[in-house]
Amino acid sequence: MFAYIKKKSYLCNIEIKITIMTNRAETFQYRNNHPQVTIDDYFKATKVEFTDVADEMTSAEMDAMWQSLAEQGCEWHKSPLSESEYMINRETGDIYRKSSHWGKRISTCCWTLRRGIVRLTSCYTIGKANIADFEAIITPDYMIRFYMSNH
């Protein structure tokens, strides 16, 4: 029984990895076909450096700032894959990200954070970037074929 459960778990993990690789390939293919980053697709294969705008704030102060952004008319979005949240100001092109993880492996993106102070990596902070600063990650076709052939 245990061996069956272990095998089923292993197969499930392989299936999840295949799905992720296929989704990444499709996202990279999308970006190759749509190299201009827009406010509606900034989360697909892009890179940018966010600036920490919650530097030295307490959790309560960050929550108040987040609420203030909503009251100013920013659109709220939540990542379907993590606990990250986003506020988007379509008028200015500013994108705010409330998250505890930053770096090169944010789904198909490379979103780094410029910080004034060093925090624990698991702490939430709010980063801000403008849509004009986002760059497309263009992937060579051989990488897309690699992702697609491994499913």
Q: Which helix or strand (DSSP H or E) is residue 127 part of?
A: strand 125-130
Tens of pLDDT, residues 108-121: 889 999 886 555 55
119-134 b/e (C-beta count within 10 Å ≥ 16 → b): beeeebbbbbbebeeb
Average pLDDT over residues 97-109: 86
Q: Comparing 135 with 148, which gets the higher pLDDT?
A: 135
pLDDT score recorded for residue 31: 85
Tens of pLDDT, residues 22-69: 677 787 788 888 889 999 999 998 999 999 999 888 899 999 999 999
Full residue range of the structural domain in which residue 42 is found: 2-149
- Label residue 129 by pLDDT band (50, 70, 90): very high
- The total domain count for the chain is 1
pTM: 0.76
Altogether, the residues listed in the chain come to a count of 151
Out of 56-60, 93-97, 141-145, pick the least confident. 141-145
CB 110 within 8 A of CB 137: yes
CB 44 within 8 A of CB 81: no
